[in-house]
Structure 1
Amino acid sequence: MALLDRVHDSGRLVTHIRNQASLLEAVLEKLRSEKDPEQLAQAKQRVGEPEVDNAKLKSELDELSDRLDEADKELNELREGLVESQRHLKEQKADRRKADDELLKLMRENESLKAELPGKSIVDYKQSIAFGWGLRRMGQVSYEYGYRVVLARFQPRYPRLGDR
């Protein structure tokens, strides 16, 4: 903003000096018509000084205008970069929300699987061949054990039963 103010002020100063130079040139023309060499030399010198100052200020104005153009270009590039960064940030936020939703979904699914797993594993084990064989073996052992227990109880009461 300060650069813009300097360019504007320099432009006004150049215009002011140009107006002064025009006035001095008018005075110079008047003196030429009067033909006084000493006053004419002084007037030429007075006209030349603002022209030199005007040229310096004009070159400074051109330089400041170039710097202003460069600053505008840089500002536009930065704005484009900002827009791109904001777009990228929005995409990342959307991706993060999707990832959070997916994580929450997976966590819920994991919890439900943890709840189902013990019951399912028991059902699966009961349907397995090893469980069936284990039951048969246990049944046979139970049968044999039960037979021996009954036999052990009956033998003292009925000693003759065991002879046959």
Structure 2
Amino acid sequence: MTRLKCIDGEDPMVPRWLTISGSSPLWTKGSLSEEYLLGALHPTLVKQVYECSSEELMNRAGKSVVWGLHFVSALIDRVHDAGRLVWNQHEKILALHAANKELKASIGQELAAVAERRVKEMEVEFERMRAELESHRSQRRELEQEVGLLRSSLDGARNDRARLEDDIHSLTEAIAFLEAKLKVEGQKAMGTYKASRGFEFGLEKMGRVSYEFRYRVVLERLWGMHSDIMIELDPFIECFEDANIEMDLDQPFDDDT
């Protein structure tokens, strides 16, 4: 996770802020200021929750959390640096006030006026930096809230994955049970069908059809070699006078008739 792969593309998971340093004011100017201030690091995360698999979603959310924590840490360091700078400026202002008093007492009004002008400039700079510090703190709170939401989403995705794995395990067991039951029932049904009269009658009918086919093949070959041969009676032609004669399926063959 700490060695994220850098690739080109429009994917929101691509690390586009590799040039950030402690002195880079990307939140105030530059092409990345709008993305940074609007929190555009994860614009399609909600869409991916409904389109990606749980494993891919957790991987992407994990990477997003890592990058979010990285930028939160960088912003916290920046805020701490700004706080120390503000404190230093405040000490300088106090020192200038003391120096101003000394100058008024020793040098005169002209140098005192210069010192007062410098003190005012320092006070303006101090107010500006304090406003910037408050802005950074506000951004840090927003980033911390976003990281909390991402962690909640990641936990939810993990819970969904665990629930899906349980469902898959249950379905696998049900399929295995049904396959075993189908195998047993299929063998029973096959044995019952083979023992039935319809199966035996079907085999007999298939035998007669196969015999008739071979008979007609041999007959065609015979006519091909001897076209003048006449066949007096086709044994497989249905006789209409025998159509109304009742006969059992198990009628035995009688050679005496």
Match of 1:67 in 2: 139
After TM superposition, list the pairs within 5 Å mapping 1:9-158 onto structure 2. Answer: 9-34=81-106, 36-122=108-194, 125=196, 137=248, 141-142=251-252, 145=254, 149=256
Which of 1 and 2 has higher RCO (CA within 8 Å, sep 6+)?
1
Deviation, structure 1 residue 122: 4.7
| C-alpha contact (below 8 Å) 2:93/2:122 kept by paired residues | yes
Residues of 1 paired with 2:167 and 2:180: CA distance? 20
Amino acid at match of 2:96: L
What is the Cα-based RMSD across aligned positions, in Å? Answer: 2.3
Q: Give identity over the alignment, percent.
A: 24
Amino acid at match of 1:7: V
Amino acid at match of 1:115: Q
**Larger Cα-atom Rg:** 1
Residues of 1 paired with 2:249 and 2:178: CA distance? 42
Per-residue deviation, residues 127-164 of structure 1 (Å, max 9, x unmatched): xxxxxxxxxx567x44x93xx74xx8xxxxxxxxxxxx
TM-score normalised by the chain length of structure 2:
0.48
| C-alpha contact (below 8 Å) 2:82/2:129 kept by paired residues | yes
Structure 2 unpaired stretches of 5+ = 1-72, 198-247
Residues of 2 paired with 1:69 and 1:122: CA distance? 78
Residues of 2 paired with 1:120 and 1:26: CA distance? 112
Amino acid at match of 2:187: A
| C-alpha contact (below 8 Å) 2:93/2:123 kept by paired residues | yes
Going from structure 1 to structure 2, the CA distance change for 1:53 and 1:113 (only over 3 Å counts) comes to same
Amino acid at match of 2:103: L
Residues of 2 paired with 1:71 and 1:138: CA distance? 88
Residues of 1 paired with 2:87 and 2:164: CA distance? 54
Deviation, structure 1 residue 55: 0.8
Moved more, 108-117 or 86-95: 108-117
Aligned length: 136
Residues of 1 paired with 2:163 and 2:82: CA distance? 46
| C-alpha contact (below 8 Å) 2:104/2:111 kept by paired residues | no
TM-score normalised by the chain length of structure 1:
0.73
Going from structure 1 to structure 2, the CA distance change for 1:112 and 1:13 (only over 3 Å counts) comes to same
Residues of 2 paired with 1:106 and 1:26: CA distance? 92
Per-residue deviation, residues 11-55 of structure 1 (Å, max 9, x unmatched): 111011011011001111222334710011011012112211111
